[in-house]
Amino acid sequence: MATDAASQPLFSLPVVGPVTRRSLLVWTLVVNAELAAVVAYFAFTDATLSSPLFTLYGLLWVDAALLVFARYDLPEATGSRAVPTLVAAGYGLLLFVFGGVVGPSTPVTPLGWDVSLLPPGWGPAVVYGGQRVAAVVMPAKVLGYGALVYLLYGSLLEASRAGLAGLLGLFSCVSCSFPILAGAVAATVGGGGVVAALVTGVGYGPSTAVFLVSLALLWWRPGFATLRRLRG
C-alpha cells in the first residue's frame, strides 16, 4: 500500500508530466547530495565562492539533463532509424566541437591526462591533450549536450513517421527547428569560456538560458501538430 501511495501522482507539470511522492523524494536527495558536494568542494579545496552563479549554472545543466533522461520517453519508430540516428549523431558532434568538449590541439595544449577540480557540475573535469586532439570533459556539458541530442533523436523519430515530408517539415517549421539551432548557439556561447566564467560568474548565463529553453522546446515540440497530420 505504501508503494502504491508513493507512486500516485500529486500534481502534474507542463511537459514533464505527473509528479509523485517517490519522484519528489528522489529529487530532494539529488539536490541535497549536490549541496553537500558544493560544501565539501569549497571546504576541502583552496577555491573561494567568488562566483556563486557559475556553480549554480553547472548544477542547472546537470539537473535539467537528468530530468530529461529520467522522464522523457522516446516515441516508437515505425521505419528505419538510420536517418534519425545519423542526424542526431552529427548534431551531437557539432555541439561537442563548438562547446569546447573536443577539438584540435594547439601548440600550447599540454600533453597527457589531467583532472581539473572545478565546482560540482562543471567538475571534476577530465582534460586530455594529444598531438592532434584535445578534450575537456565536464559533467554539465556532456550530460547537457547528451540531453539535447536525445530529445532531437526523439523528435526525428516522430517526424520520420510521416516519411520524407515529416523530416523536411521538422527543419522548415520555425518552432521545431529553433531549439535545434539554439542548442548549437548555447554550445558556441558557452564554449571555451570557463576561465572567464569563473572570474565574472556571468559567462555561462546566456548559454544556460538558451540551453534550458532548447530542452523545453525540444521536449514540448510546438508545431508538431502539423507533422502529426502529415503522418496521418
For the chain, 232 residues long, give each residue's pLDDT as a single digit of tens.
455 667 776 666 666 777 788 888 888 999 999 999 999 988 888 877 767 788 888 899 999 999 999 988 888 776 678 888 888 898 888 888 877 788 888 777 778 898 888 889 988 889 898 888 889 899 998 999 899 889 888 888 877 765 544 454 445 444 455 556 655 555 554 444 443 333 334 457 777 887 888 888 778 766 555 445 544 5
What pLDDT, on a 0 to 100 scale, did the predictor assign at position 45? 83
Question: Cα separations (Å) of 126 from 20, 137, 141?
Answer: 36, 5, 12
Instruction: Identify which of 200, 204, 212, 188 has the alpha carbon closest to the alpha carbon of residue 103.
Output: 188
Helix (H) or strand (E) holding 23: helix 21-44
Find all residues with CB under 8 Å of 39, minimum gap 6, and list them.
none
Could you give the CA distance from residue 214 to residue 164 in angstroms, rounded to a whole number? 24
Grid coordinates given for 232: 496521418
Buried b (16+ CB within 10 A) or exposed e, 72-99: beeeebeeeeeebeebbeebbebbbebb
Name the residue with cell 577539438: 103
**Are 136 and 125 contacting, i.e. CB atoms less than 8 angstroms apart?**
yes
What pLDDT, on a 0 to 100 scale, did the predictor assign at position 35? 92
Could you give the CA distance from residue 212 to residue 215 in angstroms, rounded to a whole number? 5
What pLDDT, on a 0 to 100 scale, did the predictor assign at position 224? 53
